[in-house]
Structure 1
Amino acid sequence: MTRRPRCALAMAAYLPARLFTPADRARMEALGEVEPVVLTDFDAPGARRVLAEVDVLVTGWESPYIDAAVLDRAPRLRAVLHTAGTVKHHVHPVCFERGLAVTSAAGANALPVAEYTLAWILLAGKGVMALKERYARERTAVPLHREYPEIGNAGRHVGIIGASRIGRRVIELLRPHDVLVSVHDPYLDAAGAKALGVRTLPLDELLEQCSVVSVHAPLTDRTRGMLDRRRLGLLRDGSTLLNTARGALIDQRALTEELVAGRLHAVLDVTDPEVLPADSPLYELPNVVLTPHLAGSSGNELTRLGRAAVDELERFVHGRPFRAPVAGPDLDRTA
C-alpha cells in the first residue's frame, strides 16, 4: 500500500494481551495505524466510525459477525486476518463475493493439536491407560512381557481420518517413528498420499485394520456422525480412538455405550455436546481420557496465532501474497 493501513482488532476484549507479545504488538503498530479500542460489537458506540475508516480487521475468538450490513459500513475494508483456525463463525460468504482477502492462523494452531495427538498415539500404543489403571489398583509389579505381548509402537498401524492441516502435521510428526500410517480422506489422491508417505484406505477398512485411529476431519453436513454405531463396531477390541476435531463427527451415544462396555479406549478432547452432562460416565471411566478442548492453542501458545496474523499484515503492507489465504469455495469442506 502507498499509505499505512488503518487496522482494528475485532475479538474478545481479553484476547489482544494474550495474542500479541510486546514485540509483535510493536511490529503491528509500525506496519499500520492500530485502533486502540477492541471491537466486540459492531453496533456499539464508536464502532461505526472505526468501520468507516478501517482497511484491515484482525479478528479472533468471539469476533462479531461480518456480513453484508457490516461491509456496507466498511467501504475501505480489504482484508480480514484471523488469529485462530476456522473463519466460518464470523465471516459471511458475501465477504468473498465482494473480493475481501481472508486469512487464517489454522496452520499455527495445527502444531499444538498435532503434538497432543502424537503424544497420545504413542502412549496408546504402549497401553498406558490399561496399565496405569492396573498398576494403581494392584500396586505391585505388572508382568508386562508375559501378559501384554501386544503393547508397543514397533510397526503399530495408525489410522488418520482427514488429511487436513492438522492431519498432515500429525503424519509429519509420526514420520520418525516406526509406525505404519494409513489415511482416509476423499480429497486425497494417490499422488498426494505418495507425497505424504502414507497409504489410503476406505474408512471402513481403516477402522478394521488400525489399532489407533485419530480423527482430523472437518465438521460438515457430509461428515456429521460419520463414525456411527456401525462404524464404531468395526474397531477392534482394545483399539484407541482419538478425537481432537469436532465431537459431532462421532455418534456420542454409540461411543459412550462402547466405552462403558470397556471394548474401546478413547482420548476425547471434544465431545457432543461440549461440555458433556455432569452425570456422563465418561468423566470416570478408566479407559477414557477426557480433556477440556485443550489440544489447540492454549496459554503461551496463543502468541503463535498473533504472530501469524502480524506476519500476514506485513505481507499485505508490502504487497506480497498471503501465506495462509482462505478461499470461499473451500469453506464447505474445511473445519
Structure 2
Amino acid sequence: MALAPSSLSSGDLLADRRFEYARLLETDGDFAAAADLYAQALEIAPGWAACLFALASAQAKAGNATAAREAFETLLALDPEDHFGASLQLSLIGDEPAPDIAPPAYVRALFDDYADRFEASLVEALQYRAPKLIGAAIERVRHGKIFAHALDLGCGTGLMAEALSERVGHMEGVDLSPDMVAAARAKGLYAALREGDVVDDLSRAGEAYDLVTAADVFVYMGDLAAVFAAVSGRLVPGGLFAFSVELSEGEDWVLRPSLRYAHAPEYLGRLALAHGFLIRSMEPADLRLDRGEPVRGLVCVLEMPRAAHSVEIALPARMPEVAAMPAAEAVVLADAEGLPLPG
C-alpha cells in the first residue's frame, strides 16, 4: 500500500533521512541496499511502523523471504489492527493461510489515503468500469425498472450511485473509509450515507431493500458467506443483489499478489443456492487495467425469488455446478449461456 504522509516521519531527523534515501534506492531498483538503510533507520526509531513495513517490502522485493517474513511478523505484533496489511503479505510469502477478509484497518487506511485521487487514478488511468457494467447488467435483467430502496455496499466516492441515478428512488451507501464517504456525500446522490463494515450495516435493524449493489467490494473479502447471508436477510421478494468479483479459475477464493481476492463462479453458485438466491446473470467482463493488462472478472445479478420452488438446471461446465436452484421466473441465466428455461 502507499504510505500515508502522516506515517513518513519518525520524529527523528537522522532516521527520516535514511528512510528517504532508502526510498530513492527502491525507486532505482536496489532493494537490498534500501533494506539496509531502512534497518539503519529502525535502529534509531525502533517503533516506526511505516519504516518496518517499508523494510519488509524491500526484503520481499530483494528475494529475502525469511527476512521479509520476520519484518512483517514484527510489524503485525506492533500493529495488531494491521493498518499495513501485514497479515495479507505473510500469507503470500509464507505458509500462513490467507485471512477470510482483508483487515478492516488496512482497507480503511488504504482508501482514506486514496480518496482524493480515487476517480482520476482508477477511472481515468485504469479504465475502471465495474459500476457501469453492473448498471448495464441490472438493466438487462430488469429493463426500465425503477428501484424504490437501494443499498450500495462499499459505496466509495459514489460511482455506483452515478450509474443508477435515474433508476433508484432512495439510495443509501455504506463504506469503511470516512474520507470516501465524505467524497460520496459531496455528490449529493445518496439519501443516507454511513461509515462502517458492510456486513455489520446489513445486520442492523432497518427496512428491506429491493436492490443491493457491491462494485469492486468483494476484492477485499475472501469468504463471502457472511455477506450473502446478510444480503438475503434484507432483500424483499424479487429484490436484486448485483455485484462484481475478480475471476478465480481454480480455488473457491484466492488472495492474489495484488492483495485483492478473486472468486470462482462455482463458489458463487454454491453460495447463491445456499442462501436462496436465483442466478439471473453471471457474465465475464474486463473490470479495469492492472499494469496495462485487463483484469478479468464476473458481473453477477442474483434475485431473491418471489416464491420458493425448484427447477432442474443443466449448467455449462464453466458455470456453477448447481443441480436445483430456487426459481420464480423464466430466465435463470443470460440467454448467451444457452440454458434451457423452465416452463
Give the TM-score category using the shorter length. 0.3 to 0.5
TM-score, normalised to structure 1, is 0.39
Identify which of structures 1 and 2 has the higher relative contact order when contacts are C-alpha pairs closer than 8 Å and 6+ apart: 1
TM-score, normalised to structure 2, is 0.38
More strand per residue: 1 or 2?
A: 2
